[in-house]
């Protein structure tokens, strides 16, 4: 092959930004084609030159990169038939067609190869570049590109799933609010036979269970990946029980035994991802069913295997009674794309993701496993001693037997598009002694206040409503009535990507299902000025009949 | 469903061209797409008489040379077709506001005001009208 040809092809072969200089040097200095193999040997891309023979194409030159990318010894490729040497990697007909197309159309053809070598998947891109009767094959390692693509796809899938879950949770919360509210209203009726009050209690207990499930669904969809927030690992793991259960079929029993108050610096959602991946891995190791044990304990002054230092650690342990792994598999289990599952069954990303996340949290992983003996994955995270075993923060829900909050003389305008929920919130506020105005949407709320001469102390509004959001309504409403305070009710979180509408900083959010105690607590605090200063009226100071302030 | 401000036709009556422009911008920001501008009470009244049902709301300045806001309102209320009327006033005293209320305004705005207040007022008045019509 003449130097002129090589130089011409070289230009088209490689990225012009990278190799233009090389090409100039080559065309200027090459007098002897013997230099070419040496130059080709310096390229990171694999290059093979193929010449036509009777029954196909023979490789007449392959550089070092080509040999190593195709897992061949140096010099092994030369002399082989091109199609035959790639027979392990790509279907013969696909390859032949691409070569024919390249030769016939005189246009470059690109094919991608998926290479399975001892459990490890790799990807190569082959560019076939026609050159007179010859053609050149350029081979690129596109593993990084593939990894990124698959990570993106995985992230998008999770995000879409999260959004779907969040949407369902939101609507479901509305329904729960209504069930809970009417159960409360019914429970207030006097003279009911004891079984009925019991039934009502059971309804409310079930609502609480439903509400905690929707909370988890919303948390799953939310990207709360901010690092270094202090989380109670034990409580978090226990909270996930409801989400993990549905991942397993009836043949697998999940046992969670998590000590509460084991605090670590971590992002709650990342712990959720780790847990989910470990559980899925255990599940897949038990095709015939079995048990999964999840424990969380605080361990003092230990040095886990793989850890640099001795210290206090939070240990999250997931143990299964599955097939177990041999030492070889154990060594490679965290490699990206390593999978023992059939093709298409697993991405091989799950445990590599776990490994990455644990490292990110400055943790270490220890595996104990043997074929037929099951697997135990122990994750050790540095313990946040300052917060561990501290009593949980006080949640001062007023006792049901406590004197109920009275807000006589106050007025609230409630905006909610769900009629039943609107009636429910209105009835709760009326029970507290408030004057209540209601509106089914933002425009109606503005019209209601326009026609109301008295003072309106609170705007209680749903966040997500058709026509106008609660946030916009609050803006418009407070421009008309600057003294009014807004309380938002929503089935969505206040911020993050699960928040359909971002709430302003410091906004008061009452999560759905709306609980009477929580609503009373928020309003009670606001009227006492402890939550928001500058509220003009203290309980009991308002005199009915006072006219509204002008705009 | 289209937003209430999307389809509303507002007649803006304001003699000061700078203020008129500002109000038009504010209305545009609030999402109002159809604004008819007039520079005096008389011009507005002529327009209302020609196309009485072509206007959904009048946003009018109180003080104007010639036919002022209250005078225009007086004529508008004599029309068969009811058009909601929001008066813009620079006078903040209770007496003038009560006076305006007696004339039959649907809302008033005291200058200067924030764009949100204008939008809130428009929505409140228009929604009330829609409910009344329904």
- What pLDDT digit, counting tens, does each position of A36-53 carry? 778 888 888 999 888 888
CA distance A183 to A193: 15
Q: Do A446 and B124 touch (CB under 8 A)?
A: yes
What are the φ/ψ torsions at residue B21 (nearest 5 degrees)? -60, -45
Q: How far apart are CA A2 and CA A134, in angstroms?
A: 12
Contacts of A446 in chain B (CB under 8 A): 120, 123-124, 127
For chain B, the first-to-last Cα distance in angstroms comes to 16
Report, as an integer, the average pLDDT of B120-125. 92
Point out the least confidently predicted range of A18-22, A129-133, A341-345: A18-22
**Sign of the CA dihedral with A525 first, then A530, A531, and A532 last:** positive
Bigger pLDDT: A119 vs A472: A472
3-class SS at A5? helix
* Tokens coding A448: 């209601």
Q: Work out the widest C-alpha separation in chain A, in whole angstroms.
A: 108
Question: Is residue A91 exposed (0-12), middle (13-18) or buried (19+ Cβ within 10 Å)?
Answer: exposed
Partner-chain contact B120 A467, CB within 8 Å: no
- Choose the mutation target among A469, A476, A504 for the interface with B, i.e. most B CBs under 10 Å: A476
Contacts of A466 in chain B (CB under 8 A): 1
Q: Examine the pLDDT at A456 and tell me if it is beyond 70.
A: yes
In angstroms, what separates the C-alpha of B104 from chain A's closest C-alpha?
14
CA distance A495 to chain B (A): 24
Considering only CB atoms, which chain A residues are within 8 Å of B124?
443, 446-447, 449-450, 480
- Minimal C-alpha gap between A507 and chain B (Å): 19
Which of A450, A466, A475 is the closest to B124 by Cβ?
Answer: A450
* Residue A31 pLDDT: 43
Contacts of B123 in chain A (CB under 8 A): 442-443, 446-447, 468, 476
CB-based contact A466 B1, cutoff 8 Å = yes
Q: What percent of chain A has pLDDT over 90?
A: 15
Model pLDDT, residue A522 = 86
Beta pairing class for A290-302 and A252-258? parallel
B109/A151: higher pLDDT: B109
* Span A482-512, pLDDT tens digits: 889 999 998 776 555 445 677 887 788 888 8
Worst-scoring range by mean pLDDT, A200-214, A245-259, B69-83? Answer: A200-214
> With an 8 Å Cβ cutoff, are A476 and B3 in contact?
no
> What is the ipTM for the molecules in this complex?
0.73
* pLDDT value of position A341: 62
- Model pLDDT for residues A262-282, shown as the tens digit of each residue: 888 887 777 887 888 888 889
pLDDT one-digit tens code per residue, A280-294: 889 888 888 899 999
CB A415 within 8 A of CB A439: yes
pLDDT digits (tens, 9 = 90+) for A219-232: 655 554 445 567 88
pLDDT(A156) > 80: no
Name chain B contacts of A477, Cβ cutoff 8 Å: 120
Average pLDDT, stretch B89-108?
75
From the CA of A459, how many Å to the nearest CA of chain B? 14
Q: What is the mean pLDDT of chain A?
A: 76
Dihedral of alpha carbons A379, A382, A387, A388, sign: positive
**What pLDDT is recorded for position B126?**
93
Using an 8 Å CB-CB cutoff, list residues of chain B that contact chain A.
1, 3-4, 92, 94, 97, 107-110, 113-114, 116-117, 119-121, 123-128, 131
Q: CA of A427, closest CA in chain B: separation in Å?
A: 24
Is the per-residue pLDDT at A337 higher than 70?
Answer: no
Q: What is the pLDDT of residues A80-137, one digit of tens each?
A: 888 887 776 666 677 778 877 877 788 888 888 877 766 667 788 888 888 877 888 8
Token pair of A233, please?
């690992």
pLDDT score for A11: 52
Predicted local distance difference test score (pLDDT) of residue A548: 31
Per-residue pLDDT tens digits for B33-73: 999 999 999 999 999 998 877 899 999 998 889 998 989 99
Residue B128 to chain A, least CA–CA distance (Å): 6
Chain B residue with CA closest to A441: the answer is B127
Interatomic CA distance for residues A474 and A480, integer angstroms:
10
With the CA atoms of A329, A335, A340 and A341 taken in that order, what torsion angle do they form, in degrees rounded to the nearest 10?
Answer: 160
Whole-number pLDDT of residue A90: 67
B17, B77, B87, B99, B126 from B62: Cα distances, Å: 15, 16, 6, 12, 20
Q: Which of B107, B110, B116 sits opposite A479 (nearest CB)?
A: B116
pLDDT at res. A320: 94
Q: How many contacts (CB atoms, under 8 Å) link A and B?
A: 56
Is A477–B109 a contact, with Cβ atoms under 8 angstroms apart? Answer: no
With a cut of 60, say whether residue A348 has pLDDT above it: no
Check CB contact under 8 Å for A479 and B117.
yes
* Inter-chain touch B123–A480, beta carbons under 8 Å: no
- Whether residue A70 is predicted with pLDDT greater than 60 in this model: the reply is yes
Percentage, residues of chain A above pLDDT 70: 76
| Residues of chain A with C-beta less than 8 angstroms from the C-beta of B119 | 476
Least confident interval from A41-50, A371-380, A410-419, A526-535: A526-535
- pLDDT bin (cut points 50, 70, 90) of residue A186 is confident
pTM equals 0.48
**Which among B123, B128, B133, B134 is the top mutation candidate for probing chain A, defined by the most A β-carbons within 10 Å of its own β-carbon?**
B123
Percentage of chain B modeled with pLDDT above 70: 93
CB nearest A443 (choices: B92, B117, B123): B123
Q: State the Rg of chain A over Cα.
A: 33
Chain A positions contacting chain B at CB under 8 Å are 442-444, 446-447, 449-451, 466-468, 475-477, 479-480, 550-551
Distance from CA of B47 to the nearest CA of A (A): 28
């Amino acid at each position: 092959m003449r130097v002129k040809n090589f130089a011409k092809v070289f230009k088209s072969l490689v990225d012009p930004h990278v190799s233009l200089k090389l090409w100039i040097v080559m065309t200027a200095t090459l007098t002897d084609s013997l230099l070419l193999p040496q130059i080709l040997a310096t390229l990171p891309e694999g290059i093979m030159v193929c010449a036509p023979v009777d029954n196909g194409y023979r490789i007449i030159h392959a550089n070092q990169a080509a040999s190593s990318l195709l897992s061949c010894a140096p010099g092994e490729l030369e002399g082989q038939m091109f199609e035959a040497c790639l027979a392990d990697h790509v279907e013969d007909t696909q390859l032949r067609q691409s070569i024919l197309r390249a030769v016939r159309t005189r246009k470059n053809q690109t094919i991608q190869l998926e290479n399975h070598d001892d459990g490890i998947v790799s990807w190569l891109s082959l560019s076939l570049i026609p050159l007179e009767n010859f053609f050149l094959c350029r081979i690129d390692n596109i593993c990084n590109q593939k990894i990124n693509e698959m990570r993106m796809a995985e992230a998008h899938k999770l995000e879409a799933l999260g959004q779907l879950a969040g949407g369902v949770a939101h609507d479901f919360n509305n329904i729960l609010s209504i069930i809970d509210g009417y159960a409360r209203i019914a429970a207030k009726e006097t003279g009911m036979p004891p079984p009925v009050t019991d039934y009502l209690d059971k309804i409310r207990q079930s609502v609480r269970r439903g509400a905690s499930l929707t909370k988890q669904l919303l948390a799953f969809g939310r990207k709360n990946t901010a690092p270094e927030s202090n989380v109670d690992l034990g409580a978090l793991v226990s909270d996930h029980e409801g989400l993990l259960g549905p991942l397993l079929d009836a043949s697998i029993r999940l046992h969670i035994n998590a000590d509460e108050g084991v605090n670590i610096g971590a992002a709650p959602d990342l712990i959720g991802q780790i847990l989910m991946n470990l559980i899925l891995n255990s599940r897949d190791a038990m095709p015939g069913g079995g048990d999964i044990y999840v424990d969380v304990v605080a361990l003092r002054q230990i040095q886990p295997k793989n850890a640099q230092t001795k210290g206090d650690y939070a240990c999250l342990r997931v143990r299964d009674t599955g097939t177990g792994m041999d030492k070889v598999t154990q060594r490679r289990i965290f490699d990206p794309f390593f999978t023992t599952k059939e093709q298409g069954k697993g991405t091989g990303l799950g445990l590599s993701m776990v490994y990455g996340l644990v490292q990110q949290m400055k943790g270490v992983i220890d595996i104990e496993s043997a074929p037929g003996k099951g697997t135990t994955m122990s994750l050790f995270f540095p313990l946040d001693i300052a917060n561990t075993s501290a009593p949980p923060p006080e949640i001062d829900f007023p006792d049901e037997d406590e004197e109920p909050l009275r807000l006589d003389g106050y007025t609230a305008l409630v905006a909610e598009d769900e009629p039943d929920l609107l009636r429910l919130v209105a009835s709760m506020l009326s029970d507290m002694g408030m004057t209540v105005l209601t509106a089914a949407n933002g425009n109606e709320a503005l019209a209601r206040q326009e026609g109301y001469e008295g003072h309106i102390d609170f705007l209680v509004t749903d966040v997500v409503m058709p026509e106008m959001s609660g946030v916009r309504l609050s803006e418009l409403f407070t421009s008309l009535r600057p003294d009014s305070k807004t309380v938002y009710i929503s089935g969505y979180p206040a911020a993050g990507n699960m928040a359909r509408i971002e709430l302003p900083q410091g906004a008061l959010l009452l999560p759905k299902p709306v609980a009477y105690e929580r609503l009373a607590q928020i309003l009670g605090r606001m009227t006492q000025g402890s939550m928001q200063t500058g509220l003009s009226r203290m309980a009991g100071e308002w005199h009915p009949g006072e006219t509204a302030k002008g705009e | 469903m289209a937003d209430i401000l999307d389809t509303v036709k507002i007649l803006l009556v304001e003699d000061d061209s700078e203020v008129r422009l500002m109000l038009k911008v504010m209305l545009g920001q609030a999402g109002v797409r159809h604004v008819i501008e007039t520079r005096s009470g008389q011009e507005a009244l002529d327009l209302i008489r020609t196309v009485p049902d072509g206007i959904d709301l009048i946003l009018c300045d109180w003080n104007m040379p010639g036919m002022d806001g209250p005078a225009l309102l007086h004529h508008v209320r004599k029309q068969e077709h009811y058009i909601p009327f929001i008066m813009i006033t620079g006078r903040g005293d209770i007496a003038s506001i009560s006076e305006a209320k007696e004339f039959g305004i649907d809302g008033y705005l005291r200058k200067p005001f924030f764009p949100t207040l204008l939008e809130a007022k428009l929505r409140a008045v228009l929604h009330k009208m829609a409910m009344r019509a329904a």
